[in-house]
Amino acid sequence: MLKDEQSLLPVPGDDLDQTTIHKIASYCSQCRWHTDVVVTFDNGGSIDGVCRKDAEYPLHHFLFENESQTNGTNGLGSQKAPRSYKFRCSAPQCPVVVQIHMKPPHISDQDIETLTNQAQLRRRWENAKLIAGERADTVMARRVDGPDFLNTYLQDALNPVKGKARIPLLNKKFLKTFGKDCDSILTRFGFSTELEDEDGEINQVWHLPRPEESNSPLESTLRTTIQDARYELNTIILGIPDSERHGVRHKPLYPGPARDHIERALACHDCTFTT
C-alpha cells in the first residue's frame, strides 16, 4: 500500500531530466515490511535515450548490479535486516537506475506481545495499583489500548498541539497500559523521560517525540520512522476483532495500492503482454 507522504510520484506528461527522481514508498499490510522503489535518470546515457522515447527500446530491461544488507548477509537475525537491491537498464543509452530498499517492521512481534498480551496487561494493572494506590484505574487495559494510545501519541507528535506534549507516568491510563514495561518501545520512537516537580512531588514524565520537518522524501528520519510505525499500528489495530475495538481513538487508514505508481515509474504501466 502507498505511503503518499514519503513518495515522489511520477506525473504523466512531466518532462524528464537527469535530476528527476521517482520514489514510491509502500508497505505490506500483512507482514508490515516497508519497500521503497526509487528510479533515477543519472546513470550516464541521455534523456533522449530513455526507453520508450527510443523506438528501438520500447521497454526497460533491468540487470541486477548489487545487493547490500545493513547487518551483513549471514548470522542471526539477517532475515530481518534491511536490504537494498540495485538494477540498471541494459539499453545502451538509457540512464535509468532502479533501487529497491526493504525495511522490516519497526514494531516487532515481541513488541506486539508486550503491548497486547493479557497476562502482561493484568500484571501491569496490578503494579499500577501498587504505584498509584487509589489514583489507579479500576479496570485493566484492553488488548487494543496499547496500540491505540501509542498511535494517538505518535499522531500528536507529527501534529503538535499545545498541552499534548507530555504524559505523566501516573496518568492512570498510561500507567496501566504501558507502565515501565514499554520503555524500550517508547524510546525507540523518540519519547524521552525526565523527573519533574509537581506541587512539591517529584514524578516521572514522558515527553512526546519532536520530529523535525524533512525537505526530502528520500531522507530516512525520525518523522518517517513515526509515519511507518503509524501504518504498522493501523494494521495491528485493525487485526483486533471489532468487538474489542469499541471506543478506540484510532481512525482507520485506508491507503491505496502502490502497484500502478510503481508500474508508471518503471514505464510499463500501459504495456499489454501477449503470448
Whole-angstrom Cα distance, residue 191 to residue 206? 7
Contact 81, 51 (CB under 8 A): no
Three-state secondary structure of 179-245: CCCCHHHHHHCCCEEEEEEECCEEEEEEECCCCCCCCCCCCCCHHHHHHHHHHHHHHHHHCCCHHHC
| Per-residue model confidence as pLDDT tens digits over 69-92 | 766 555 555 678 999 999 999 999
Residue 80 CA to residue 76 CA, distance in Å, equals 9
pLDDT at site 78: 66
Which pLDDT score is estimated for 126? 97
The pTM (predicted TM-score) of the whole model is 0.91
Query: Does residue 177 contact residue 117 with C-beta atoms inside 8 Å?
Result: no
**Phi first, then psi: what are they for 89, rounded to 5°?**
-75, 140
Q: What is the pLDDT of residue 200?
A: 79
Q: Residue 151: how many CA atoms within 13 Å on its side-chain side?
A: 22
What pLDDT is attached to residue 45?
Answer: 77
Residue 95's contacts (CB-CB under 8 Å, 6 or more residues apart) are 18, 41, 42, 43, 44, 45, 46, 47, 49, 50, 89
- At 18-71, the pLDDT tens digits run 899 999 999 999 999 999 999 999 888 788 889 987 778 989 999 999 998 766
Q: What are the backbone angles phi and psi of residue 35, rounded to the nearest 5°?
A: -135, 125
DSSP conformation class of 178? T
| pLDDT confidence tier of residue 162, bands split at 50, 70 and 90 | confident
Mean pLDDT of the chain: 92
Task: Return the SS3 of 121.
Answer: helix
d(CA 226, CA 221): 9
Model confidence at 225, pLDDT cuts 50, 70, 90, reads very high
